[in-house]
Amino acid sequence: MSQEHDAEQGKPTGIQVIARAGQILRALGRNPQGLSLAAIAQEVGLPRSTVQRIINALFEERLVEHVGPGGGVRLGPALGQLINQSQTDIISLTRPYLQELSTDLRESVCLSALVDEQVYVIDRIVAERELRVVFPIGITAPAHAAAGGKILLAEMPDSSVRELLPDPLPAPTERTLDLAGLLADLQQSRQSKVSTEMGEALDGVGSCSVALDTYLGLYSLSVVAPTARLEKEVEKVCSALLACKQEIERAIGHSLGKV
């Protein structure tokens, strides 16, 4: 046979390498600050020598890059370019859901992504009511203080969160959590699938968020409102967010038909 096959699994070697490269890229995606080769090998369950060979190939394609002198690796600029090109798709695919959610709740809604220790707004719908929260597309906030960032941090293990964020954490308001409080809050979010904050990022403004695991990447969907109003309606808002998450992931989830 002209094509080499894996003896144990019967897969063509080329296909297996692609699958392993995908595992490594997903692991790096969950750890945007970067990982050592040993940490990657442990996370994906592959020998370090195998990881090294795949990393070398990915480096040549600029899909990964080295992080400082310590030998760490993170996602590279080529992937960033692909992600930027995909933003138009995620906006067009999710906008009808954002619009419906905003209309139903009469609150501002936004779609966000995590970049290093910041969360930035990719798209937003501003509520049509007298007292509302207005913010521009492209605005950033500390991930540890905004619900849209916290729900994405909750997708990481605590060890990665500690590596990503400074300690002590910057405190935009008196309600901002310290690192210990944040880690406890993230654990609750992992169980409930929802993150909330009331004035942790900006005085008088609160937010509730869910994570969206789509085939275009991991994003957060948030409802942003005055804290005085959001505190009274937090259960209703969280329920609506979870229902919207289910609809979006059923349509464009990482696994089709995901519920």
Sign of the dihedral defined by the CA atoms of residues 31, 209, 243, 95, in that order: negative
**How do the domains of the chain map onto residue ranges?**
13-75, 79-252
- Give the C-alpha separation, 240 to 109, whole Å: 12
Tell me which amino acid residue 64 is: V
CATH of 13-75, one of 1.10.10.10, 1.10.1040.10, 1.10.1670.10, 3.40.50.720: 1.10.10.10
Alpha helices in the chain (DSSP H): 13-30, 37-44, 48-60, 77-105, 147-153, 158-164, 179-192, 227-252
With tokens 């138009």, the residue in question is 88
With tokens 């009331």, the residue in question is 198
Question: pLDDT in tens for each of the 259 residues of the chain?
Answer: 333 344 344 444 678 888 889 889 888 877 777 889 999 999 899 999 999 999 999 988 888 888 876 678 888 877 666 655 555 588 889 999 999 999 999 999 999 999 889 998 999 999 988 888 888 788 889 999 999 999 999 999 999 999 999 989 999 999 999 999 999 999 999 999 999 999 999 999 999 999 999 988 899 999 999 999 999 999 999 999 999 999 999 999 875 443 4
The yes/no answer on whether domain 79-252 falls in CATH 3.40.1360.10 is: no
Q: How far is the first Cα of the chain from the last one, in angstroms, to the nearest whole number?
A: 42
With tokens 């094509």, the residue in question is 3
